[in-house]
Amino acid sequence: MRNYDLSPLLRQWIGFDKLASALQTAGESQSFPPYNIEKSDDNHYRITLALAGFRQEDLDIQLEGTRLVVKGTPQQPEKETTWLHQGLVSQAFSLSFTLADNMEVSGATLHQWPAAYRSDPQ
């Protein structure tokens, strides 16, 4: 007997459980950018995306019916950078989350690190 872990399929369905539809779209799932879905209580959820290197103007957040769609297109730097090590991925992405019919999106916020953490070393 095999055991299947369906949690990756179910985590994009917020507010209700539609396993049949999740199985149909299993091939569409992607892992970038990493994200968390937090359930505060029965009526409140928070989606957090890790978007290192993205600015607010690089992001597009839309509500299309019951789908919350988040797209990001990073700007290319004006001058060429010589990397000694590049561990942070900065690529275009599109994520969508299917919401229950009775859910409403209350807002979106971009939190940035303080300038002291972003400045170049001297």
Answer yes or no: is 119 within a domain: no
Q: How far apart are CA 77 and CA 112, in angstroms?
A: 19
Mean pLDDT is highest, among 19-23, 25-29, 41-45, for 41-45
Q: Mean pLDDT, the chain, as a whole number?
A: 77
Q: Has this prediction a pTM greater than 0.75?
A: no
Answer yes or no: is 19 within a domain: yes
- CA dist list (Å): 112 to 4, 55, 115, 116, 118: 38, 9, 9, 11, 9
Answer yes or no: is 89 within a domain: yes
Answer yes or no: is 117 within a domain: no
The pLDDT, as a whole number, for residue 88 is 82
Answer yes or no: is 1 within a domain: no
**CATH number of the structural domain spanning residue 92:** 2.60.40.790
Q: What would the pLDDT profile of 1-16 be if each residue is shown by its tens digit?
A: 455 666 666 666 665 5
